[in-house]
Structure 1
Amino acid sequence: MADKKKVIVIGGGFGGVFAAKSLEKLARGNVDVELINNNNYFVFQPLLPEVASSNLNSSDAVVPLRQLLSRVQVRQARVMGIDFERKIVIVIQGARMTPVELPYDELVIALGTGVDLARIPGMSDHALTMKDLTDAHMLRTHVIGCLETADVTTDTLVKDQLLTFVVVGAGFSGVETAAETNELISRALRYYHNIKPEEIRMYLIEFAPRILPTFPADLADYATKNLRANGVEVLTGVGTKSATSTGVELTNDRVINSSTIVATIGNGPHPLVDALGLDMKWGRIKTNRFMQVPGHDHVWALGDAALIPLNDDPQDDPADYATQTAQFAVREGAQLAANIVAKLKGEPLKPLPTRPRARSPRSA
């Protein structure tokens, strides 16, 4: 690597941060690494439900990117486009939102996913989400508001609706959100003398046959028993047909009246990723096993934005691809960094290792 190369990483989630950190360490002095992100901090997303429940302070779930990546150039800016032919990233930054063109030798796309609830009528308008700190704070404030109103209302139907809470989607985020919200309510009830514990209804709804569909079945069974033991009503094998300001209608035509709907489903492609014109599947950028984007020699993708095969002949089975978890994103970041260094040295690339032993994403 005679000439110093410029590598731009777009996205400050698990994949982007660990790719930038690993790359700087492996190629120190030979590569300039710059990470671009909308915010100047890293959010530990698996902890957001605990922020919502007040079990953690907001500061415990975020780390300044400049502190985490002390040897990496961090740029707080919004990426507006990518010119693959000219190898240019176009960003807008600063108070005046000035457009700037940034050249690169290698580009890493780690933008994660967006939220797309449009497929379920009413969900976009009436559901809370759990993607960032603002969402966590909104959920906590909303839940406390429901308890405040329920404590003083004399209308039984209104009270029932206020004390019914629905979480749609039972992946890791949904399970954590239901459990932490349920705990928040249980702790708070001592201050609301007109609300009895048995008046609380907490629903966790999952279209798949079981919760935590990307985790081992025995772990899902354990989590289900634990949730039910703590008063969460787990409904599996049923989807959500529509949402309104007063509740949800399920695909089995059951209606649950509720003032609180939290959607942890609806992951869709990031708007920029969707506009790049790259080959995609299931809303994710298709890559080879080395995390290179086919047809673009200097472009790589990882994390939730990428569909990374775990074998040489992947089929239409999610198990043939890297799972969208923090655990995988960390591993992808390290391997992608090693592959960029190998490429610049003219050495063989290595594929992402096969599926690791499952564990909680927060341990990654």
Structure 2
Amino acid sequence: MTRPRILVVGAGFAGVGCVRRLERRLRPDEADLTLVTPFSYQLYLPLLPQVASGVLTPQSIAVSLRRSGKYRTRIIPGGAIGVDLRSKVCVIRTITDRIVDESYDYIVLAPGSVTRTFDIPGLVDHAFGMKTLAEAAYIRDHVIAQLDLADASQDPDERASRLQFVVVGGGYAGTETAACLQLLTSNAVQRYPRLDPKLIKWHLIDIAPKLMPELGDKLGGSAQRMLRERGVEISLGVSIAKAGAREVTFTNGRVVPTRTLIWTAGVVASPLIATLDAETVRGRLAVNAELDLPGYDGVFALGDAAAVPDLAKGEEGAVCPPSAQHAMRQGRTVADNVIATLRGEPLTAYRHKDLGLVVDLGGRDAVSKPLGVELHGMAAQAVARGYHWSALRTNVAKTRVLTNWVLNAVAGDDFVRTGFQSRRPAKLSDFEYVHSYLTPEQVRERVEEAVDLGEVE
């Protein structure tokens, strides 16, 4: 008899956590493991702003999947673009652009999320995202390039526009991105004697009335005060009405001349979820507390793409926020429940109380709320970096990150740009392939044809 086939979609915190636990706890002859992911690394997303600002090198937060683990898992380099839950077939577009049909007995859906955009004129054509490693590295190059171009320009208006930067999104990603990059430019401009430091302006805007409301009024106020003291202009209750190549129009009518618009206004579940033709909650797959999909055999979902009941809150309808903290622990629970299903054992409900929040604002600035204790300044910085460091999955990653932090603290920033972005701009539409997915009807038609041809069981 063939062994049961377990297919895991996605190599984020949830997917990798699940795969590694399955590798440790399954007997070698108990099941075959397959992981579908476009990139053979796990990205430690919370530290992405530090890559954009050059504090960390890109490879320090990209943990290779091929040099860790037990090497039992087959990796398919590509992206899942559709799933037929009834036929138990996943449609995959490989990195060679070939479409293949992968049969499974058990599937773990952890495809993560994509940047949430709205129907704002010019947004996807002129804004940068901050969701991938490539985007973070690209933004760093772009920001340093603006200093070089402003320094070389003879036009005062052009110089001023190149030295204004707009970040949309007052959550953790947007706030940390604005904070870290503002620190980079304020340090870098000292090396440009022709540039007036007063021309550098960072704008952080959000439609919400508060910055990072999860922190509470006290810590949220501390974060705002730290940023404003560093010259970051914070505008709340405001968003983008229109984006252009050389200016951005706010919803309050204000026009800001800029060549840099960074969009971090939230995320939505991967478009893969829409191909399943299953029940969703605000776009996320509706699952039980055991992280399995009602009405389907052997289907589990977790992470950003699943609306997982938050039993720790004790509130009806409460779901876990799409955070790394929950994703890592959900990965372990799903692995245990897949194994329990294989062995005919009862499943375990997911329950985890949030351990707290950490926000690294660069330099010595930070705010943290571990286990409900409010901290700011150096104490908060120690907690924030200590948490991130401990959450890195391998000793190699921990060593690289710690070395980068020490080097940056001792030697300061460097302001070298690679130049790879100088010829062609790369915006939101270039990094997230949201139009590559099939419709539920296309998935069914493809799988039915494959079954008729005998290509899948």
TM-score after normalising by structure 2: 0.73
Cα distance in structure 1, aligned partners of 2:86 and 2:304 = 25
Cα distance in structure 2, aligned partners of 1:3 and 1:351 = 30
Alignment of 1:199 onto 2:199: yes
Matched residue type, 1:8: L
Deviation at 1:251, TM superposition (A): 2.5
Match of 1:263 in 2: 263
Cα distance in structure 1, aligned partners of 2:316 and 2:215 = 20
SS of 1:77 mapped into structure 2: strand
Match of 1:164 in 2: 164
Taking the TM superposition and a 5 Å limit, the aligned residue runs for 1:59-208 are 59-71=59-71, 72-93=73-94, 95=96, 97-208=97-208
SS of 1:90 mapped into structure 2: strand
RMSD: 2.2
Q: How many residues align?
A: 358
Match of 2:275 in 1: 275
CA change 1:138–1:185 in 2 (3 A) is: same
Cα distance in structure 2, aligned partners of 1:339 and 1:355 = 20
Deviating more after overlay: 111-120 vs 328-337: 111-120
TM-score after normalising by structure 1: 0.91
Long gaps (5+) in structure 2: 359-386, 392-457
Matched residue type, 1:357: L
Deviation at 1:100, TM superposition (A): 3.2
Cα distance in structure 2, aligned partners of 1:98 and 1:305 = 25
SS of 1:55 mapped into structure 2: coil
Cα distance in structure 2, aligned partners of 1:193 and 1:23 = 57
On the 8 A contact 1:322/1:355 being kept in 2, the answer is: no
Deviation at 1:262, TM superposition (A): 0.1
SS of 1:147 mapped into structure 2: helix
Matched residue type, 2:185: I
On the 8 A contact 2:86/2:296 being kept in 1, the answer is: no
Deviation at 1:116, TM superposition (A): 4.1
SS of 2:167 mapped into structure 1: strand
Match of 1:222 in 2: 222
Alignment of 1:330 onto 2:331: no
On the 8 A contact 1:107/1:300 being kept in 2, the answer is: yes
Deviation at 1:261, TM superposition (A): 0.4
CA change 1:225–1:313 in 2 (3 A) is: closer
Match of 1:314 in 2: 316
Cα distance in structure 1, aligned partners of 2:42 and 2:242 = 33
On the 8 A contact 1:129/1:263 being kept in 2, the answer is: yes
CA change 1:273–1:309 in 2 (3 A) is: same
Matched residue type, 2:77: Q
Partner deviation per Cα, 1:2-28 (whole Å, 9 max, x = no partner): 984321100011111101112222223
Cα distance in structure 2, aligned partners of 1:114 and 1:282 = 14
Match of 1:7 in 2: 6
On the 8 A contact 2:207/2:239 being kept in 1, the answer is: yes
On the 8 A contact 2:84/2:276 being kept in 1, the answer is: no
On the 8 A contact 2:38/2:95 being kept in 1, the answer is: no
Partner deviation per Cα, 1:90-129 (whole Å, 9 max, x = no partner): 324364x444332212101111112342422221111011
Deviation at 1:347, TM superposition (A): 2.8
SS of 1:182 mapped into structure 2: helix
Deviating more after overlay: 39-48 vs 220-229: 220-229
CA change 1:224–1:313 in 2 (3 A) is: closer
Matched residue type, 1:236: L
Deviation at 1:183, TM superposition (A): 1.6
CA change 1:120–1:322 in 2 (3 A) is: same
Cα distance in structure 1, aligned partners of 2:68 and 2:166 = 36
Match of 1:298 in 2: 298
Match of 2:19 in 1: 20
Cα distance in structure 2, aligned partners of 1:23 and 1:241 = 47
Partner deviation per Cα, 1:61-103 (whole Å, 9 max, x = no partner): 21111223333222212323222222122324364x4443322
